[in-house]
Every structure is written in structure tokens, then in C-alpha cells.
Chain A
Amino acid sequence: MREEAVLFGEMESLIGIVTDPVRRDGNHLAPAAILLNPGIVHRVAPGRIYVKISRALAAAGFVVLRFDFSGIGDSAARHDSLPFEQSAVREAQEAMDFLKATRGIEHFILLGGCSGAAIALETTCCDPRVIGGVLINFPIAEDEGGNTNPELIQRRAFHYYRNFALANLKSWCRLLTGQSDYRHLIRVLGFQAKRRFASGRKRSSEATRFEANLRRLAGRSIQLTFLCSQGDLHVDDLREAGGNELEHLCALGRVTLKVILQSDHTFSSLYDQERLLQVILEQLDSITPTHGNAAYIPEGPATPRPKSDPIYR
């Protein structure tokens, strides 16, 4: 494995690290993996997880590039007025151009956490060179307002009750011995019921866009994996926003939805990170089962997956 610091992009202003495997067996048709910034954190990522992912994938035979979008980490800010959603997609494409020019690679798998996952999906939709992606804690909508946003507070509370308190003996003891805040509990459940069943509820623009993007991908031979932390609020939004389209793609085997139990948004324990790494390696292996041994053939039917597959929860 060899790591190289690189500069690329229109203005040579994007900074990244390419991790080359020891041997590529001269297979220039094998795809490379590109890691996209998780939010505004630089390319090392919380827990140094992007470095670990890069090295693990390089050990498995992939060329890997982790880099900073303009204005994030070490990369210089842009001098045009392109919005981030557009500049980031363009820069992800520049990363692909760079690997094509320097390593002759023509197909790519994008990986990204949080907003990096959103950029990965947008790039996948508009660039046929992308043949797969691992989208970690995909954000359906921005959590604007943080702790002052009443809707977000209620959603967080519901998420906690459903995913953690429900399976927690202490929580049940508190509920049955009158130590719980019943008023709060009822308020949260009422809020969720209203949110789910209110007639004529308007879908957010992000949810509509997400579903449209999935539709665009349905006609392409692509493998996407949505990886969600159990502790992440967006896992429910993802299922809700993806709706039938997501379910359909899961059934076709084009999309996999995996929940990593007991983990949080940033995989802030070493145990979470080990499991994340393991799942990523499995997913990349399923996207490119022959990458280390023979020429990769990107087109071809995906293996249909039954709806009852436990992966789709």
C-alpha cells in the first residue's frame, strides 16, 4: 500500500490522498473508490475512519482517493459563486477525471457520510462512470435550527423511545412505576401520529428529490448501499422518503439498506468503526466481486433480492 498527497481540479486547488494497493494486477478496468467529506469535517473524518476505510480498501485491491471539497479541510475556497451542492458534484467528477488521467481508471464507487452521502447520490445520478455507492447516514433534510427546532426535538424524542427506550428494561421500570414523564410521552406519540397520518401531508422537497433520484437510477445497472446507524435520526426519514421506489429497488437487488445496530451518527466507538469497515468491505465486494482477479464488467443484471430479505428492515 502506498499513500500519495495529490492536488487536482480545475484550479489544482483540491487536496487529497490517493491510497494505491500493493498490486493491482494491471487491472485498469477495476473501479476506484472515492471518499467524500462527511459534512465539514476534513478528509480524515471522525475517529480517523476515512483513513481506516482507505487502507482497508487498498488492502483489498482498490485504488482509493479521499479528498476535501473546496473550502473544507485543506482545499482552497472557490472563486465562483457556485452553490455547494453543484460545486461538490463537479469536484467529485474532477476526482474521477484525475484518477482516469493518472491511473487509467474508468469506473468508480462513491462513499460518503452525511452530506457526503447526499453528494455521492447526486453525482451517481448525473455521471455514468459511477457504478456503485455506499451512502452512510444519508440525510434527507437539513436539521435546521438544531435544539431550537420544535419538530426536530419531537422527532429526536420519538426516535429515542422507539429505538432505545422500547428495548430498555430500566425505561419500562420507570414507565410502570410512575417515574416517567407521561405528558411528554403522550405529546411525542401524538406528534408522530399526526406527522404520519395527517391527511394531505406535504412531502418535503428533499424527499421528493430523493425519490426522483432513485427513479433515475432504476434504469441503470448500479449497486447502492444505504448504511444507517441505529442511533441516527435519518434512518426513519430514509424509509419514509424512499417509499415504494426504495422498496422496489431493494427488491431488485439494486439497493441495499443496512442498519448498524447500537451505533451513532459518527461511529464514535471503535466497535462501531470495525463493523462499519466490515460492512463496507462486504458491500464493495458485492459490487465488484471480481475486481482483484479479472477485468470488471460494469453492465449486467443485478441479482433480485426477495422482499422478505432481512437486510431491508
Chain B
Amino acid sequence: MRPPGRPLPFYFGPSDKPLFGCYHKARTEDSRKCAVVICQPVGHEYINCHRALRQLAARLSEAGFPVLRFDYYGCGDSSGNAEEVRISQWLEDISTAISEARSRTGLVPVCLVGLRLGGALAMMASSQRGDIESLILWDPVVDGKSYLDGLLSLQKELLRFRPKPRGGYKSPAYLDIVGFPLPHCLYTELEMLNLLTLTERPAKNLLFIQSEPATGEKALRDHLSQTKARLEYQRLEIPQIWLPTEDGSLLVPSEALKSVVSWASRRYS
């Protein structure tokens, strides 16, 4: 029997494309009637946000929620290489994770929590499926083009302060973004990503957390408020934890974590 609060690591999903997950069992006797699935960002943002999302899972489990964190195909500890990833695969991975969370907990209601690209993927998956009860979007990527611009300028900035890789090293198949390959096919898919084009209501309950005004987020807020979802918007003064900083990364913005736990606890009291 695992001591309460300690995550259980395991692989799940299709045997030819196993996904890595960490299951945090609800710590309290009376588990809340909703399983939480955390959709992480990708690339360097995944590395920078891992610590905060692990803490978030621990706090949600402390508050009585069973939580599943997982890595998409080609990311983190999951199988596959980053050169092969596609948005459709990641959406499928979210569905696989939802099924896994449901079968582990025996609960049908699911709350997806998505940060950055994880937020966009969570919203796309929710809109497609139509069976997600609650959705928490934390600084989601609203517009793929702006997201790509951000990645490219970060890479450019990085090259200003490090030795230039020799020999004009470039692969025809992908771009190098802070040491993570961004395949051209994925680049094209991301260019077309726009959450404002989703017409279906993604979930019954929605929390939208924003740390800094960014392209498209005001529009997304307006877009979401037109759906029949119960929307709560929170503007928080917290760092953009997905970005590398002078003082180091891996920040844990306690205020955002508190906000997510408190909102979810109110929904499932």
C-alpha cells in the first residue's frame, strides 16, 4: 500500500505507444466526485513547468481529488521521439489519459487542467468530446502563430548568448527550439491552431487564469463568455513559469495553485 500523497508512476495506453503517467490518489477519506487530468505544455515549457504541475497535483490530491499527470507521446518519459509528434496524436493521448483516470477512479466527471499548449489541447479535446465537466485553462496558447513567433524569438535570443552551433547545422525535417525539435508538420499544424474557431462548448464549468495580457486572450475570454459555460476569469500577478529566466526556472507560483484548488473544491464540494 502506497503512503498517501505519493504519486504512483506507471505506463498506460496502447502497447505500441505507451504513455508515462503519475497517479496521485486523493488523500482524504472522502474523495471528491471528479478526477483531474493535467495536460502539460510541451518542449522546454514542459521542463520549466514540471515542478509547478507536480505541486499542483499534490495540492489537488490533498484537497481530495484523484489526479493523473501524464506525458504526451514523444514528450517526457513517454515513448516516441519528438520528431514524430502531431497535434492529433496529442489529442488522442488526452483521451487515453481520460479513460485511464476514469478506470482508475471509477469516476465519470473529469476536470482537465491545461497550461500553455496543454491548455489549448485540453480545450480542443474537450470541445471534440463534449463529455468534460470542468476545464481549467492556465495561460493557454490561443493563437498558434503568436505561439510560434514566441518560440522563434526565444531561440533567436538564446543564440545571442551561447556559442553558435557549428556548420550551419539544420535539419530539413525540423527546427531546433531550445534543444527540442519542432517538426515542420507540427509547425504547420500549430500555425493553424486558433481556439476562437472552436464553436462547441468545451465544458460546463470553466476557469480561465491569465498571468499576463497576451495576444488573443481577451478575445478568448469574450469567446468563452458567449458559450453556455459557467466561466470564471482570474487575472493573477504571477511569473510566466514556462520561460527560462535569469534567476533560474522551475518556479512554483503558489497563488495560481491555490486558485485552481480553491475553484475546483468549490465546484466539487
Taking beta carbons and an 8 Å cutoff, which residues of A are in contact with B? 3-7, 11-13, 15, 17, 40-49, 51, 73-74, 76, 146-147, 163-164, 230-231, 261-264, 266-273
Q: Are B163 and A41 in contact, CB atoms less than 8 angstroms apart?
A: no
Interface residues of B in 11-34 (CB under 8 A from A): 11, 18, 20, 22
Q: Hey, which chain B residues are within 8 Å of A48, CB to CB? A: 75-76, 82, 179-180
User: Is B178 positioned at the interface, with any CB of A under 8 Å from its CB?
Assistant: yes
Measured CB to CB, the closest approach of chain B to A50, in angstroms, equals: 9
Partner of B163, one of A4, A6, A263: A263
Comparing B2-10, B93-101, B109-117, B217-225, the segment that makes contact with chain A is: B2-10
User: Is B86 positioned at the interface, with any CB of A under 8 Å from its CB?
Assistant: no
Q: Hey, which chain A residues are within 8 Å of B20, CB to CB? A: 5, 17
User: Is B190 positioned at the interface, with any CB of A under 8 Å from its CB?
Assistant: no
Question: Tally of A-B residue pairs with Cβ under 8 A?
Answer: 103
Sort chain B's interface into a size bin. Answer: 35 or more
Query: If A3-B77, A46-B179 touch, does A268 touch B246 (CB 8 Å cutoff)?
Result: no
Partner of A266, one of B6, B8, B165, B179: B179
Q: Hey, which chain A residues are within 8 Å of B5, CB to CB? A: 76
A interface SS class: loop
Those 8 A-B pairs whose CB atoms lie nearest each other, nearest first: A47-B179, A5-B9, A271-B169, A271-B165, A264-B162, A262-B163, A269-B165, A268-B179
Interface residues of B in 38-79 (CB under 8 A from A): 44, 46-47, 50-51, 54, 75-77, 79
Taking beta carbons and an 8 Å cutoff, which residues of B are in contact with A? 2-3, 5-11, 18, 20, 22, 44, 46-47, 50-51, 54, 75-77, 79, 82, 158, 162-167, 169, 171, 176, 178-181, 246-247, 250
Nearest opposing residue in chain B for A42, CB measure: B50
Measured CB to CB, the closest approach of chain A to B16, in angstroms, equals: 12
Q: Are A270 and B77 in contact, CB atoms less than 8 angstroms apart?
A: no
Measured CB to CB, the closest approach of chain B to A18, in angstroms, equals: 11
Measured CB to CB, the closest approach of chain B to A217, in angstroms, equals: 31
Q: Are A74 and B7 in contact, CB atoms less than 8 angstroms apart?
A: yes
Query: If A13-B6, A146-B246 touch, does A42 touch B51 (CB 8 Å cutoff)?
Result: yes
> Once the chains are docked, how many angstroms separate the CA of A264 from the CA of B82?
21
Q: Are B165 and A272 in contact, CB atoms less than 8 angstroms apart?
A: yes
Measured CB to CB, the closest approach of chain A to B90, in angstroms, equals: 16
